[in-house]
């Protein structure tokens, strides 16, 4: 019996929340922007819980960072991508000049969740911070500036 066959009997590993950056395996110019945004936000907000760049169409994480004991971004990426897609659908039903979704802010009692869509609307950044560590306006500004500096 080989080592590989004994490993296959183990249950699949759940994604765990550790310090990590998860780059997309493809090394193209399109992947560098999400990674850059994550790095910029992480440098600006050392106490953040979760930040992830998520592809709108597939709901897959392009890059992410989680604080220890925070939920892994991959778990909720698809839900947030559906939220953005749903909002984009709502905008299509809106008559007149087409409007572009810029950001969605979901403030809660203890946590602030922010979604900001990149210029072309193909991916977005999801940022979660604790409400007692950062104000909504400041979190929004940090996110806006990081995306601007990364050119998206």
Partner 1 sequence: MAYSTSSPAGQCVQNIINSLPSLMAVAVVDANSGMALASHSNSPSLNPETAAAYNTEVVKQKQKAMSALKLGNEKIDDILISLSNQIHLINLSDDGKKFIYLVVNSRDTNLAIARDVCRQESGLLN
Q: Beta partners for 65? A: 51
The tokens for 72 are 């892994």
**Minimum distance from CB of 99 to partner 1 (Å)?**
4
Binders of partner 1: how many residues, by CB under 8 A? Answer: 30
Rg (CA), the chain: 17
- 133 belongs to the binding site for partner 1 (CB under 8 A): no
Query: Is 121 a residue that touches partner 1 (CB under 8 A)?
Result: no
Q: 145 Cβ partners below 8 Å, 6+ apart?
A: 44
Residue placing its CB nearer to partner 1 in the complex, 35 or 116: 116
User: In whole angstroms, how close is the CB of 83 to partner 1 at the nearest point?
Assistant: 4
Q: How far is the CB of 5 from partner 1 (least distance, A)?
A: 34
User: Rounded to whole angstroms, how far apart are CA atoms 139 and 54?
Assistant: 18
Q: Looking at 42, 71, 133, 138, which residue binds partner 1 (CB under 8 A)?
A: 71
Contact 62, 34 (CB under 8 A): yes
**Among 4-12, 14-22, 38-46, 93-101, the segment contacting partner 1 (CB under 8 A):** 93-101
Is residue 135 within the footprint of partner 1 (CB under 8 A)?
A: no
* Residue 57 token pair: 């169409």
Q: Which residues touch 26 (CB under 8 Å, ≥6 apart)? A: none
The binder of partner 1 chosen from 51, 62, 63, 76 (CB under 8 A): 76
């Amino acid at each position: 019996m080989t080592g590989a066959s004994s490993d296959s009997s183990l249950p699949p590993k759940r994604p765990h929340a550790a310090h990590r950056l998860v780059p997309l395996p493809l090394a193209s110019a399109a992947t560098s922007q999400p990674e850059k945004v994550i790095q910029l936000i992480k440098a600006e907000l050392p106490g953040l819980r979760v930040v992830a760049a998520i592809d709108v169409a597939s709901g897959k994480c392009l890059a992410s960072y989680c604080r220890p004991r925070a939920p892994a971004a991959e778990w909720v990426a698809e839900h947030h991508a559906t939220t953005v897609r749903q909002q984009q659908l709502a905008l299509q039903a809106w008559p007149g000049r087409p409007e572009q979704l810029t950001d969605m802010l979901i403030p809660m009692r203890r946590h602030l969740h922010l979604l900001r869509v990149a210029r072309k609307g193909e991916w977005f950044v999801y940022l979660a911070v604790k409400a007692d560590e950062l104000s909504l306006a400041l979190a929004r500004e940090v996110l806006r500036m990081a995306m601007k500096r990364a050119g998206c």
